[in-house]
Amino acid sequence: MDTPTRRMTWSAAKKESPDIVKKPSFHSKQKVPCKFHHPKPLKFSTTAVPKISAAISVGDKLPDATLSYFDSSDELKTVSISELTSNKKAILFAVPGAFTPTCSQKHLPGFVEKAGELKAKGVDTIACISINDAFVMKAWKKDLNVGDEVLLLSDGNGDFTKAIGCELDLSDKPIGLGVRSRRYAIYVEDGIVKISNLEEGGAF
């Protein structure tokens, strides 16, 4: 049989157990600390700013990697970073992507325009590197009427870009660029970086 529930008024409960039952005061000036316990630290993520990694520095030796390109006979070739830079003065610059507006209108054309002047100062090789495949780089070269003054090289898998710490994560962008290369220009003598210019924050 169920026992009838005993109901007490506040006054009756206080008379029965005055030391246990205390009427709360909502006008007290005493501050009661509030403690919140989270089993795991809160993590916040944002995709507003591209993720930029640490990059190669002046005095560093370039890591070796293999890049690809189409030669003037329309044959697919490969070349290593050591072949491009050993016992040579070279300028290597990178673009986030072939056919992208800034790279097509300003970045690559600027080096093509200055190629003669740079080579007159003793530069042996000027190469543009991008995380695009060799077929795209070939089409881009043809579209911009670039001759042999600047090599357009494919780092299709991003091996060289990652090795020097210049990858740029643009996978949050709605056009699906994925992981590309940070824009940079480095001057190299016999494989050693002498000058390094790295773009900050996406501004050309």
Q: From 140, 160, 159, 158, select the one nearest 150 (Cα to Cα).
A: 140
Q: Report the candidate in 127, 176, 181, 139 with the shortest Cα–Cα distance to residue 156.
A: 181
Please say whether the beta carbons of 195 and 189 come within 8 A: no
166 catalytic, yes or no? no
Q: Would you say 188 and 83 are in contact if contact means Cβ atoms under 8 Å apart?
A: no
Distance CA(88)–CA(103), nearest Å, equals 26
CA 70 to CA 186: how far, in whole Å? 23
Q: Which of 34, 103, 128, 166 is catalytic?
A: 103
- In the chain, where does DSSP find H-type helix? 10-16, 81-85, 101-102, 108-120, 134-143, 159-163
- Residues acting as catalytic residues: 103
